[in-house]
Amino acid sequence: LAKTTQPISMDSYEGQEVNITCSHNNIATNDYITWYQQFPSQGPRFIIQGYKTKVTNEVASLFIPADRKSSTLSLPRVSLSDTAVYYCLVGDRADNQGGKLIFGQGTELSVKP
């Protein structure tokens, strides 16, 4: 069974860059790595996705090393509104059909003024 590992919590201050790393040692060759953001009392929502190297969108960047056994979500210049739980997601390597999805435990990011 694939497993992902993330830090449970992180603290930051407004304006700083935050990097959250997820470990996914058993990632399958055809798997993508996706990150989600969740605010209290809401469902998770998609932030960014990548397969290898670096991906950037208007919200974040995602860095994936060549061996793809980990990934790092980078949030530039965080604000108070970035306080949320962040999850990484990969597929289950043992599931050839792609139905099983594995979320990490989530990283609770707290941004302080």
Partner 1 sequence: EAQVTQNPRYLITVTGKKLTVTCSQNMNHEYMSWYRQDPGLGLRQIYYSMNVEVTDKGDVPEGYKVSRKEKRNFPLILESPSPNQTSLYFCASSLGQGSRREQYFGPGTRLTVT
Residue among 16 and 110 whose Cβ is closer to partner 1: 110
Residue 111 beta carbon to partner 1: minimum distance, rounded to whole angstroms = 20
Q: Name the site residues for partner 1 (rule: CB under 8 A).
A: 1, 8, 30-34, 36, 41-46, 49, 87, 89-91, 97-106
Q: Dihedral through CA 94, CA 72, CA 35, CA 52, nearest 10? A: -60
46 SS3 class: strand
Distance of CA 78 to the CA centre of its chain: 15
Cβ of 6: how many Cβ atoms within 10 Å? 22
Cβ of 106: how many Cβ atoms within 10 Å? 20
Residue among 54 and 100 whose Cβ is closer to partner 1: 100
Residue 45 beta carbon to partner 1: minimum distance, rounded to whole angstroms = 7
Residue among 48 and 111 whose Cβ is closer to partner 1: 48
